[in-house]
Amino acid sequence: MVAGSPLRTIEVALASNPYTVRIGEGALEALGGLLEERGCAAGTQVLLVTNPEVDHHYGARVLASLQRHGFHTTRLVIAAGEEQKTLATVSQIHDAAYAQRLERRSLVVALGGGVVGDMAGFAAATWLRGIPVVQVPTTLLAMVDAAIGGKTGVNHPGGKNLIGAFHQPELVLVDPATLTTLPEREFRAGMAEVIKYGVIGDPILFADLESAADLSSLEAIGPARLQRLLQRSAAAKARVVAADEREGGLRAILNYGHTLGHVVETLCGYGTVIHGEAVAMGMEAVGQLALAMGLWKAADQERQRAVIAKAGLPLVLPPLDVEAAMQTLQSDKKVNQGQLRFVLPTGIGHVVIRNDVDPALIRQLLAGSL
Ligand code: NAD
Ligand code: GLY
């Protein structure tokens, strides 16, 4: 994509509140105009929520775009980091909403990664029982996953994302140029979610990943492949969300690699292993489970492993206290009537949801002896 090129559009075709994901360089500058096109009147109150690093790079550009179109803006900078993803931080957003007298027609703009997006989205979902939010993701992970689909929320000491609400955004605006300042470790973490879409349902996307020599940095991937990966990933997420907005069934496939990934994040301490890294380990681990259960072929496990490794992501679960891990698994949102639910691969582009995985097998996996 080149500066000034038109924004690509992916539809999130929900029955009640459809919206679009717009992708392209220059998207940040387009925000004010896009909101005006959507009927937001000049003078509308907009609360921009971001964190210090993202604000430093992009806050002023987003505010300028909003102000050019007559919006009344306030900026709230919250502390960065997964450990800040708490109700206390959401309270700060509510306090700012109160101070600015945000009304039902006011708007929250979330500028940042998944942490900012999940919390700003949750604050918007709960302020006055729900005001609109626009997601402007600035990490690869948030661009392809967190910003799309309306899951918002915070962590509880007992587990990740246990407190939350579904609250679909009005618009998702992706400017790939923001990835130039993203630390490489965070970029690689986002690649884990891109790989996920390939394995759970898009063999063409997976083949694109396989054909790359190196997936570990923005430079290695290059602008053309990045554009394809962003569009195919956003489209993959949009399809699943449109088919099952509230995770009554199909949407659970998006949790591929996440069930064990959440255990790693929770037990290792947030920030030690970051979300995408934990998902990468989780995908390798459920691949091993699927192999042990005779659900998928060793050759496919090897293909998945090769792509994860090419993205510079970790494969091996860290040493875990098996009983603590089993307990964390039991407190996961995805537990259904005490039964653990796993998304298991059956081929590249195909997964199944199973709640009958033998706990003894899971213990073996967690102990590193499967
Ligand atoms: P993050 O939001 O913590 O961002 C990672 C780091 O990158 C932060 O330090 C941030 O300040 C920095 N950063 C962000 N954009 C930058 C940029 N362009 N330049 C420089 N630095 C930048 O991490 P994340 O990986 O984006 O999100 C992880 C969170 O997303 C987790 O809390 C996870 O639970 C959540 N998540 C939610 C969903 C969902 O559907 N809602 C899906 C997946 C993940
Ligand atoms: N990231 C999982 C989901 O959005 O459902």
Q: pLDDT tens digit string along 158-212?
A: 778 899 999 999 999 999 999 999 999 999 999 999 999 999 999 999 999 999 9
Superfamily of domain 188-366: Dehydroquinate synthase-like - alpha domain (1.20.1090.10)
Instruction: Tell me the C-alpha distance between 148 and 155, whole Å.
Output: 19
C-alpha 211 – ligand 1 centre gap (Å): 27
Write out the CATH class of domain 8-181: alpha beta
Domain ranges of the chain: 8-181, 188-366
Which residue lies with its CA nearest to atom 2 of ligand 1?
Answer: 113
Which three-class secondary structure state does DSSP give residue 294? coil
* This model's pTM is above 0.85: yes
Instruction: Enumerate the active-site residues.
Output: 129, 151, 193, 237, 247, 251, 255, 258, 262, 275
Look at residues 215, 227, 128 and name the one whose alpha carbon lies nearest to residue 175.
227
Which residue lies with its CA nearest to atom 17 of ligand 1?
Answer: 182
Which three-class secondary structure state does DSSP give residue 155? strand
Q: Is 151 in the pocket of ligand 1 (CB under 6 A)?
A: yes
User: Which of 53, 172, 196, 241 has the most ligand 1 atoms within 8 A of CB, as the residue to mutate?
Assistant: 53
Q: Is 136 in the pocket of ligand 1 (CB under 6 A)?
A: no
Compute the C-alpha angle 88/90/93, nearest 5°.
120
Per residue of the chain (370 residues), what is the pLDDT tens digit? 444 558 999 999 999 999 999 999 999 999 999 999 999 999 999 999 999 999 999 999 999 999 999 999 999 999 999 999 999 999 999 999 999 999 999 999 999 999 999 999 999 999 999 999 999 999 999 999 999 999 999 999 877 889 999 999 999 999 999 999 999 999 999 999 999 999 999 999 999 999 999 999 999 999 999 999 999 999 999 999 999 999 999 999 999 999 999 899 889 977 789 999 999 999 999 999 999 999 999 999 999 999 999 999 999 999 999 999 999 888 776 666 678 899 999 999 999 999 999 999 999 999 998 8
Q: Which residues lie with the beta carbon below 6 Å from any ligand 2 atom?
A: 145, 149, 151, 251, 254-255
Token representation of residue 305: 């492993």
Instruction: Tell me the C-alpha distance between 268 and 247, whole Å.
Output: 27
Please report which ligand is nearest the Cα atom of 138.
Answer: 1
Look at residues 310, 312, 325 and name the one whose alpha carbon lies nearest to residue 365.
325
